[in-house]
Structure 1
Amino acid sequence: MPVEPDANIVPDYASLMRLDGQVHVVLGAGQGIGHQSAHALAAYGAKVVCVDREQDRADEVAKEVGGVPWVGELTERDSMAELFDHVGRELGRLDGVVDIVGLARYKPLTELTDDDWQWHLDVVLKHAYLALEYATRYWRRTGTGGSVAFVASVAGKQSSPKLAAYGAMKAALMSLVRTAAVELGPLGIRVNAVAPGVVRTPRAQANPKWTRELLDANIAKTPTGRLTYPADVAAALLFFLSPLSRQITGESLAVDGGNMALFNVDSPTP
């Protein structure tokens, strides 16, 4: 019979946030939320494998955080297999995976083509199940476990006009998170997601459609009275990768300043 720990013992909460000696992989580390996630993990002691499709971006963020750059096409099975083989062979351990990869095409529902649906499947969902598969293979082979955190979207939690395919794939991602948490929990693997609303990423910041009026309209509809930035999302991902969340799995946490609490489905978008 396992010995139950004393419920009165006060843990060292500060140490539960540390990731010293651990290896974490960030898929899509080159910019925005991925870039911030790499910095967040490194700040708490992790060695970060910074994965991107573009060599210069992978190299740059790896240099910033003292990590390891890796370049590949994450929607291809062979590339994902090679990545996790490289991590195990060269770094000798794997403790966590952050997957922030995902893009959207804005189109009315009835104008979506077969190509649009397939594109969203590849860009939003395929890399997620491949990452789960190959991370789990490593942990099963080594008898270890770890944590996986995805970036989903509130588009998968509510209606999302002109984002039907994107929202459908993000909803599927959150379903995958729940099922993976149940199936993989006995192996010591936790799986969660962060579901941001509108995020002021560098790409969005450079978009001329995001006028001052549009930004102010979003702020006015947000209970916290501020925009969501990549660092806000990275902070939630850091929590899911740390031992502080050791008893949390199968969850999709909205990071949207409280908009989901308002059931707000008509935030202005460009």
Structure 2
Amino acid sequence: MTEEQKTSPVEETFISHLVELRNRIMKASIAIIVVFLCLMPWAANIYDFLAAPMIAALPTGAKMIATGVITPFLIPVKVTLLVAFVIALPWVLYQLWAFIAPGLYAHEKKLIAPLVISSSALFIIGVAFCYFLVFKVIFHFINNFAPKSISVAPDIDSYFDFVMTMFIAFGMTFEVPIVVIVLVRMGLVSLEKLKSIRPYVVVGAFVIAAIVTPPDIMSQLLLAVPLCVLYEVGLLVAPLFVKATQAPKDAEETV
């Protein structure tokens, strides 16, 4: 008996799935690399755009500094790579969808596709909200609060770490409706239970905001208030989403 004959159908299926997953990952990675290489000539301009909220808050003529030897090159490259990932995100999500879609029922496809698209859109909206509104408030507060004896010149490496932390915090905050919808749709938590814990959610939102954001009330409100509002949005949308994505058998039973 040869090795090919010894391979069971289950093993063949598993191996074929691994090969398919590898191909999808390669296609997604190639797209990100291609976009990254196309953007590299403008890496410095991309970083300047990212740094614009901080530069606008600094005193006239002040600039950021780079203390590392390769930092002036490395940080713009990191920012450009992240931008390339965001631009290529539709293609990356398509590869993910193409991999999992064949194994889903029709009603399950109705569940996954809207969640993937809406979660990506909400994350980007959260990042944009942070960049265009929150940074303006935070950086002006910090620089206006600084003593006159201090020359404010942020390091670009520290700035990059801070910006990424804030982007992730606000991007994840805007995912709250998706979390609520998934919990209700999967039957893990009832809608009534989620409504009953509203007070705890509000307290938790302000605790998270106090931990993640700088210690000023405005930036904390700018994170906590959207979190509470988006929680309510999730409670409103969840019943509609559950009804639209029910299996045909379940739908008949609820009629």
If you compute each CA radius of gyration, which structure gives the higher value, 1 or 2? Answer: 2
The TM-score, its normalising length taken from structure 1, stands at 0.23
The TM-score, its normalising length taken from structure 2, stands at 0.24
The structure whose RCO (Cα within 8 Å, separation 6+) is larger is 2
Q: Structure 1 or 2: larger helix share?
A: 2
